[in-house]
Structure 1
Amino acid sequence: MSEPASNSPEPRRRDPEGRRRAILTAAAEIVIEHGPAALTHRAIAARAGVSLGSTTQYFSSIDELRDTTLQQLADEIDDSLTQLESNLTDFAEHPERAIAEIHDFLCDTRAVHADVALMSTGTTDPGMRALAQRWTDRLIDMLSAHVGRERATAIAVYLDGATIHAALHDAPLDRDHLERVVVALMATPDP
Structure 2
Amino acid sequence: MVNARRDPEGRKRALAAAVVEVVAEVGVGKTTHRMVASRAGVPLGATTYYFPTLPDLIAAGLALVSDSVAADLADWRAAIEREPDDLAGALSRLVAAYVADQPKALLEYELYLAAARVPALRPLARAWLDGVHAMLAPRTGDAAARAISALVDGAMLQAVVTGEAIEPEGLAAAIRDLIR
What's the TM-score, normalizing by structure 1?
A: 0.82
Q: Which runs of 4+ in 1 moved over 6 A?
A: none
Aligned counterpart, 1:34: 26
Aligned to 1:70: 62
Q: Which residue of 2 aligns with 1:5?
A: none
**How much has 1:100 moved relative to structure 2?**
2.1
Q: Which position in structure 1 is the counterpart of 2:2?
A: 11
Q: Report the counterpart of residue 135 of structure 2 in structure 1.
A: 142
Which has the higher Rg, Structure 1 or Structure 2?
A: 1
Once the two structures are TM-superposed, the CA of residue 131 in structure 1 deviates from its matched residue by 2.2
Amino acid at match of 1:68: A
Asked if the contact 2:37/2:43 (under 8 Å) is kept, the reply is yes
**Aligned twin of 2:93:** 100
Extract unaligned runs of 5+ from structure 2.
Answer: none
**Residues 28-177 of structure 1: pairs in structure 2 closer than 5 A:** 28-89=20-81, 93-95=85-87, 96-177=89-170
Q: Contact between 2:91 and 2:172, CA under 8 Å: does it hold in 1?
A: no
Between the two proteins, the alignment pairs up a number of residues equal to 178
| Conservation of the 8 A alpha-carbon contact between 1:92 and 1:146 | no
With a CA cutoff of 8 Å and minimum separation of 6, indicate the structure with the bigger relative contact order: 2
Which amino acid in the other structure matches residue 137 of structure 2? S
Paired residue secondary structure (1:87): helix
TM-score by length of 2: 0.86
Structure 1 gap segments, 5+ residues each: 1-9
The letter for the 2-side match of 1:109 is Q
